[in-house]
Structure 1
Amino acid sequence: MRPLPSTNPRRRNRRQTSTLPAPGAEATWPIPAPPAHLNTEAAQLWDVLWRSPVAANWLADVDGFAVARVCAMQAEVASGDPAGAKRLAELRHLSEALGLTPVARRRLGWNTTTGPDQALAEVVLLSELEN
């Protein structure tokens, strides 16, 4: 015999979503200091990533190592590391896991908000961070 339908049906496997702060909004989450082993370029990227809207969903204790690894690998690849091509797969995987790409944010259920003057995100090259 089939059970009677619930009087209060609720989908149990519904995807949870989270709304990220608008790009350019002031960070209201703690921004940890970069690890000592990061070079200057990687430390600058660390600061940029932790001030980005996706960092609102990160935990420094849990995600800090992955963010540090992304920063170090990105700096190595940008500096012409001969093993750079081999590192790109790991870099892409970590970027997806941290929600750094639009597809990853959609998969994680992270919705972005944009202000009227922030329809497109600004692209910043690592070489411009040195200036």
Structure 2
Amino acid sequence: MPKPRNPQSPHSRYREAQRITVLPLDHGLPVPDMPEGREWSEHERVYWRELWETPQASQWDDSTAGIVSAVVVYWSAILAGTASNTQHMEYRHLTKSLGLTPEGMRALGWVTGDE
């Protein structure tokens, strides 16, 4: 049986086939302002800041703000118990596409600096 691939190995051919990006644990980038157009609750503001302080946010630019704000809105509705099935599904897809899930991290070829 072949050995499992280890993309972190410096001699791995798999690493060359798939670009691996090591994300900094503390990127030090500023947190963008929340989009205008609605009133944001305090817990939504906290979650917004937490998302923009993740290692994954080092790979986002300001154009990602709309997607991140949708994640915050869906998350808030899920916590409040008012989210529709569509909101649940979109939250899952958006968090994956932003690399906020293990599956999303793998798909994007991202690892954190401590791995």
TM range (shorter): 0.7 to 0.9
**Are 1:99 and 2:96 matched, yes or no?**
no
**Are 1:33 and 2:33 matched, yes or no?**
yes
Which is greater in Rg? 1
Q: Is the 8 A contact 1:70 1:94 kept in 2?
A: yes
State the alpha-carbon separation in 1 of the partners of residues 112 and 80 from structure 2. 32
Give me the CA root mean square deviation: 1.9
Compute the displacement of 1:41 (Å).
1.8
3-state secondary structure, aligned to 1:19? strand
Q: How does 1:3-14 map to 2 (within 5 A)?
A: 14=17
Give the helix-richer structure, 1 or 2: 2
Show structure 2 runs of 5+ residues with no match: 1-15
Pick from 9, 16, 23 the counterpart of residue 20 of structure 1.
Answer: 23
Pick from 29, 46, 49 the counterpart of residue 47 of structure 1.
Answer: 49
1:66 aligns with 67
Percentage of identical aligned residues:
30
1:86 aligns with 86
State the alpha-carbon separation in 1 of the partners of residues 19 and 29 from structure 2. 21
State the alpha-carbon separation in 2 of the partners of residues 86 and 68 from structure 1. 16
TM-score normalised to structure 2 length: 0.75
Supply the AA of the counterpart residue of 2:74. M
3-state secondary structure, aligned to 2:31? coil
State the alpha-carbon separation in 2 of the partners of residues 41 and 96 from structure 1. 22
TM-score normalised to structure 1 length: 0.67
Compute the displacement of 1:103 (Å).
1.2
Show structure 1 runs of 5+ residues with no match: 1-12, 116-131
